[in-house]
Amino acid sequence: MPLNQSLKGKEYGEIAFTVDRDRVVQFADAIGDDNPIYRDAAAAKEAGFSEQVAPPTFLTVMQIMTSGQVVLDPELGLDYSRVVHGEQEFELRRPVVVGDVLTATPRIADIYAKKSNEFLVTEAEIKDASGEVVVVMRSTIISRGTGGSGGS
Amino acid sequence: MLFEQVSVGDEIPAYTKVVKREDVKAYADASGDQNPLHQDDSFARSVGFPGIIAHGMFTMAHLTSALTRWLGDPAALKSIGVQFRAVVFMDETIEAGGRITEIDPNTKRAKLDVWVRVDRAGVSEYPIKNSRAEVELA
C-alpha cells in the first residue's frame, strides 16, 4: 500500500535530549574512534572546545528517538518490515558538546516514488538551549515495493 | 588540514576496519537502534540475508572518522551526506575513502566525493557511494 502523500510537511512532537558524558564515551567506543577530545574534557579544552566533544554522527541517538513517531504514525501507512535506510545527511553548524541541552522537532520533508519503491524523507533541526540550530539531520528511508508503478 | 596542503583530485588516506559482531552490538546499545536485523541472525535470515548486517550509520560513522582523522579537527567537518547502497556483513573489512572535487579559495572550504568499499570475492562493493562531504581547511 502506498504511503500517505498528504503527510508531506507534517511535524511531530518535540524531543528533548541532554548530551551526557558517559553516552558520548560509549558512542566513541562503539564507533572505535580514539580521538581524546571525545573522551576527556581536558583534552577537548586544550584543543579549543568548551567541553568534551561528541563525534559528528552522535546525534543519530536523537534521530532514533524521534524516528519512532514518524515510522509508526498510523496515518502514514508504512510497513516497517519493508524499510531500509537509503540516505543520511548531517549539516554540522557547530560541534555538539557534553552538557548541551538539545531539542528536535522532526517533520516529513518529502514522500516520493521511484519505480516500485517509495522514499520517505524526514528532517529535524536540532537546537540548543539558546535556540541556535547546531545540527540539521535528514534521513531517507526506502519502503520497498510499495510504489504505484512497480507491479509485483 | 591546511588549505595550502591540498589540491583538487587529492585522496584522503584509506581507513579500514574489520566489522566485528561485538562492535555492531555496542553500536546498537550506544545509538539506541535495536533493530534485530543487526543482532539476530535468524531474524536476518528471515528477511533474506545470510546473517546480521551492520547499521548503515555504523558504516557512516567509520567514514566520518576517516575524514576527521585526515582533517585533524572534527569541527572542520561541515556536512556529510551519504547514500547506503550495499549491506555490510560481520568480519568484512570496510575501507573508507574520499577525493577532493572542489576547493573554494575564498571560504577555504573543500568538497569531497566520499565512499566506503568492501572487497567481496575479488569484487568491490560500495556500502556507501555517490556521497559528499564539505570541510573547512585551516
Q: Which element (helix H / strand E) includes A24?
A: helix A21-31
In a domain, A31, yes or no: no
Q: Domain count of chain A?
A: 1
Residue pair B114/B96 in contact (Cβ under 8 Å)? The answer is: yes
SS3 state at A99: coil
Mean local confidence (pLDDT), B119-136: 97
CA distances from A24 to A19, A32, A108, A125 (A): 7, 12, 28, 20
According to the model, what pLDDT value does residue A81 have?
Answer: 78
Is B60's CB within 8 Å of A138's CB?
no
Phi, psi of B79 (to 5 degrees): -160, 155
In a domain, A26, yes or no: no
CATH for B3-20+54-136 is 3.10.129.10
Å between B8 CA and nearest CA of chain A = 22
pLDDT at A151 over 80: no
According to the model, what pLDDT value does residue A82 have?
Answer: 81
pTM given for the model:
0.95
Cell (9 digits) for B63:
567514514
In a domain, A47, yes or no: no
| Distance, C-alpha A132 to centroid of its chain | 17
Domain ranges of chain B: 3-20+54-136
Mutate to test the interface with A, among B35, B59, B60, B129 (most CBs of A within 10 A): B60
ipTM of the complex: 0.96
Å between A86 CA and nearest CA of chain B = 5
Mutate to test the interface with B, among A87, A94, A121 (most CBs of B within 10 A): A87
According to the model, what pLDDT value does residue A27 have?
Answer: 98
Taking the C-alpha atoms of residue B110 and residue B114, their distance in angstroms, rounded to an integer, is 12
Angle formed by the axes of helices A21-31 and B56-71, nearest 10°: 90
Taking the C-alpha atoms of residue B65 and residue A57, their distance in angstroms, rounded to an integer, is 10
Domain coverage including residue A67: 5-19+55-150
In a domain, A78, yes or no: yes
pLDDT at B65 over 70: yes
Task: Tell me what percent of the residues of chain B surpass a pLDDT of 90.
Answer: 98
Query: What is the domain-level CATH number for residue A106?
Result: 3.10.129.10
